[in-house]
Amino acid sequence: MGRVFVVRHGESEWNSGVAKRLREDVRLTETGVAQAHSLAGIFKEISWDAIYSSPLTRAQHTARIASSRSDILIDPRITETYFGEMEKIEIDQKKWMDVWQEYWEGNTGLIAGAETFEDMKTRVDNFLNEILTAHKGKDILLVTHGGTQKFIWCYFNEHPSDSNYHKISPLGNCEYFVETF
């Protein structure tokens, strides 16, 4: 039986309140680096068959530290949610959080050019179908983002029938879950 360890990247400049653009390529903070080192201690006995990361720096850095390896496979299908026009503007924290919540409650049309849930589901499902076949019975590490991890969790469990992904709790920075396949 194989296992997939799904990790959300360590704390980044985005998470600490400096920026609010999901695909902005920001670095880990010192706290994020420490979080990834803590994961490395937890994962030290695991022999990874493959380690996959989002192309964003915060995920790649977390993957290298947490796995204690440098042979990370980069795949854009596990990058963060694309928020269209919201990626290009500065807005205050409260407005951002209001829009964020409404989006995850299923109103993906609220933001011009934003990735739809169906698009996210398709890219994540295609990725998982491919890697689970390629690494059958092995241990795999995936380092991704808060939005993407919701769709990975749903792949193994269940998508909300009302498309309200806000109901699915996101992982905290450097938190993880494990699924068997």
Alpha helices in the chain (DSSP H): 30-43, 57-67, 93-104, 117-134, 146-156
Please say if 87 is a catalytic residue. no
Starting from the edge strand earliest in sequence, which strands make up the sheet with 3-8, in order?
73-74, 50-53, 139-144, 3-8, 176-180
- Which of 80, 115, 135, 179 is flagged as catalytic? 80
Length, in residues, of the chain: 181
Among the options 9, 61, 135, 145, which is catalytic?
9
Question: How far apart, in whole angstroms, are the C-alpha atoms of residue 172 and residue 176?
Answer: 8
Quick check: 174 and 8 in contact, CB under 8 A? yes
- Is 166 annotated in the active site? no
Residues 179, 181: Cα–Cα separation, whole Å: 7
Task: Enter the tokens of residue 163.
Answer: 């498309």
Pick from 125, 129, 153, 142: which is nearest to 48 by CA?
142
The residues carrying an active-site annotation are 9, 80
